[in-house]
Chains A and B, each alone.
Chain A
Amino acid sequence: MDRQIKTLQDKNSYLDLQKEKRITLLEVLDRALDKGVVISGDIVISVADVDLIYLGLKVLLSSVETMERLRGSPFSGAAEEPT
């Protein structure tokens, strides 16, 4: 029984870690792709040969929500530090 619980906890902490990494990445993307000094009119970023910066950002917004809904784990406290 103990063992089972331990495994479960390990699995959860692994998921938490993965989630935290993912949130950190989303937060970085949210800034580095959309904010900061924009000194040129048309910045084209290529994602696997497709140019889709704006589509990317929409996906980004909804993905925070989706992640929250699917995982149902605590949103608060994650990604305390981005690095």
Chain B
Amino acid sequence: MARLMPTLAATDHLPADWRDLFALTKPRVMTLVVFTGLAGLLAAPGHMNPVLAFTAVLCIALGAGGAAALNMWYEADLDAQMRRTESRPLPAGRLNRQTALHFAVGLSATSVVLMDLAANHLAALILAFSIFFYAVIYTVWLKRRTPQNIVIGGAAGAFPPLIGWVAATGQIELLPTLLFLLIFLWTPPHFWSLSLFVRSDYAKAGVPMLPVVAGIANTRQQVFIYSLPMAAAAIAPWPLGLTGAVYGLVATALTGVFLLLAAAVLVSRTTEPAEMRAEKRLFAFSIVYLFALFGAVAADRWFPL
């Protein structure tokens, strides 16, 4: 906090720069959210008017941006203590806290109202709940209290495909539920592999991430353990007849690679972050994996074998 105050005093009286407001929405994370939401919408049966489909995806993006901005507004003190996040607009003092809060609430409310207007009540309700879940349940309640923060908080990032599907059909069905489960179970191995090699940052900020609280070996075991039900959720839509061979083959092959990389993390013994190649490989692959699986689920519906 001591580092935060002088910089804050220097520039936070200036009107906001749009680039700083844009950075509040975590645009890189939003890419994955938009992609999975779009995939959920495209995988749904039936045909949705292109304008309404575009608006639904836009609302998912705005909602994710609003939730991310609420997260950054609440965590400015925490972000100031970690190298990875200290240059964000609020801890760096480029943006006024009140402006950030107004922007976050405005974006969140607009996304829900527009979703209700363009799609249906259920999609708007799930979108509102996902914003509440990320901003309040995860950010305010869980993140600083329990090492299980990632497990439960992972649900927040799992909503977009469900919202996309519900926007198109108005109903919750088994396939989008499995896609929700896939992201929910994917989040712990994805995030814990990252937190293994940036654990000193979390320790410094006092965030009870699993590697900080339970140790490196235990985290590696948990990464592998969570990868198993994730693999089941990823492959299940094919044998259950919910998707065709396009998705089935892609999911089976890539899940096999994911499990191999998770096994490499399990047997890794290094404790030096710079040498944690297995963890970095799994983290990088996990992003490609999710993009590929959601690309495949949409491709399977439009270009079946």
A is bound by B: no
